[in-house]
Copies of this chain bind each other. A is one copy, B any other.
């Protein structure tokens, strides 16, 4: 099944980088906008891939749920 809508079919998209960011809460939506833009541009430039097809997700994990060296970040 190939989707014709806007050429999202696999034949048109040769690359589909996925960047999943996990971090503790605290960034505003504006911070996230800047982060998505900066990370996408840096990735595309370093790899030579098309920034248009890069996906970035930001997941926030509470400090009490994130452990380093056996202890939570709280």
Name A's B-contacting residues (CB within 8 A): 1-24, 27, 29, 31-43, 45-47, 49-61, 64-74
- As for how many copies of this chain the complex holds, the number is 6
Interface contact A40-B67, CB-CB below 8 Å? yes
CB-defined A-B contacts under 8 Å, sample of 30:
A1-B40, A3-B50, A3-B51, A4-B52, A8-B52, A8-B53, A9-B71, A10-B68, A11-B71, A13-B69, A14-B73, A15-B23, A17-B22, A18-B18, A18-B23, A19-B39, A20-B22, A31-B46, A32-B72, A35-B47, A37-B46, A37-B70, A37-B71, A54-B67, A54-B70, A55-B55, A57-B61, A57-B67, A58-B66, A60-B65
